[in-house]
Amino acid sequence: MKKLLKWIFYIFVGFMVLGYFASKNEPSSSTTSSGSTNAQETAPQREVFSTTARQLFKAYDENEVATDEKMKGKLISVKGVVQSIDKDFTDSIIISFRTDNEFMPARMEMEDSEKSAAIALKKGQQVTVICERMSRIVGAPSGRDCVFTH
């Protein structure tokens, strides 16, 4: 029984890693001619969907399809209380916001240009980030290509 559970866990982790890299390799719709993306440069061109981390978690929990449709083609502004400041296995900066489920925070992958702001960040601070993309991974909101608002 332990072997079966171990293999199920390995398969689950494998799918998570595969999903992570598959979504990371998708071309961003707002890539500039120099190849870099910046939410602040595209803000005048695209509508902004504003929410909080808790509201986003609830919306995804109630209806993932409807939530994705509401945000489709928009920049996503997420306000939340910082639960943790981490790095993932690819050395990307991850800011986790508190949600109603403490074990499933909303995880925002920050642009590398936001490193200095992330260094100054503290747990419990309330901040707002703007993300190019948002999806639901393993039950929790997950933002990509995010920048802090100043």
pLDDT tens profile 25-55:
554 444 444 444 444 554 457 899 999 999 9
pLDDT per residue as tens digits for the range 104-134: 999 999 999 999 999 999 999 999 999 999 9
Phi-psi region of 27 (alpha: psi -120 to 50; beta: other; left: phi over 0): beta
Q: Which residue has the higher pLDDT, 4 or 35?
A: 4
From the list 82, 79, 72, 87, the residue with the least C-alpha distance to 29 is 72
The strand pairing partners of 131, in sequence order, are 76, 146
pTM: 0.68
Q: Is the domain 39-148 a CATH 1.10.287.990 member?
A: no
Secondary structure of residue 117 in the 3-state scheme: helix
User: Where do we find the tokens 């995010």?
Assistant: 146
What's the pLDDT at 63?
95
pLDDT, averaged across the chain = 84
45 phi, psi to nearest 5 deg:
-85, -25
pLDDT over 90 percentage in the chain? 67
Element (H, E) at 70: helix 64-71
What's the pLDDT at 113?
94
Positive or negative: CA dihedral 115, 116, 120, 126: negative
Q: Where are the domains of the chain?
A: 39-148
Q: Which of 11-15, 32-36, 56-60 has the lowest mean pLDDT?
A: 32-36
CA distance 68 to 114: 25
